[in-house]
A and B are shown apart, each in its own frame.
Chain A
Amino acid sequence: DIQMTQSPSTLSASVGDRVTITCRASQNIASWLAWYQQKPGRAPNLLIYKASNLESGVPSRFSGSGSGTEFTLTISSLQSDDFATYYCQQYNSYSWTFGQGTKVEIK
């Protein structure tokens, strides 16, 4: 199975900061990577699909990049609503796995 490694596990930042989260796959997954935001007590919410495509309704301050084994999620200017946990998710051969998550906290 393909393993996904996110870094960092926790990130402390202030409103207005530029934030970058990295996700590494143990094998080449082309662009089959998605990013989700999860707030406490809620289901995950899709932000980015196919590595760099912004889901409809998601603010443009979110962006994704990468292919193969290295991917990043960037929040260009962190807003108060963005403090949450973020997960990457890969797909390969009818198997889906998530990264362990990155919690974005208020600095």
Chain B
Amino acid sequence: QVQLLESGPGLVKPSETLSLTCTVSGDAISSYYWNWIRQPPGKGLECIGYIYYTGSSNYNPSLKSRVTMSVDTSRNQVSLRLTSLTAADTAVYYCARVSASGWYFDNWGQGTLVIVSS
């Protein structure tokens, strides 16, 4: 059974950079697309972008200038970097796997809450 686990700091100061890691167990990250999705408290879901196991990626235009995603196949991890944080970036951050049989998310991490505050 595939499991995804996000890790990273729970509290980050404004203007700083957020780094999150999603560790995948139970299956290799190869041959899959991986998304980062976030959800501000009490609000809906927003796709931040995707990365393929080869390293190709694309990001939400509203965040593109601040986002970098990477993949480490040897560690079975995908990572997210978000710069110049503001309070508006406070959210639960999820990693999710795109199904091999269609463009939907068939496995999700539990999510990690990131609070941006001084």
Contacts and interface: CB of A to CB of B under 8 A. Distances in A.
A65 interface: no
Interface stretch (A18-26, A44-52, A71-79): A44-52
Interface residues of B, number: 19
A46 B47 contact: no
A94 B59 CA distance: 10
Interface in B18-53: 35, 44-47, 50
A32 B45 CA distance: 18
A50 B105 contact: no
Interface of B: 35, 44-47, 50, 58, 61, 94, 99, 102-106, 108-111
Interface of A: 1, 32, 34, 36, 42-46, 49-50, 55, 87, 89, 91, 94-101
Given A44-B105, A46-B105, 17 more contacts: A34-B105, A43-B94, A43-B108, A43-B110, A44-B94, A45-B108, A46-B106, A50-B104, A87-B44, A87-B45, A96-B35, A96-B47, A96-B103, A96-B105, A97-B47, A98-B45, A99-B44
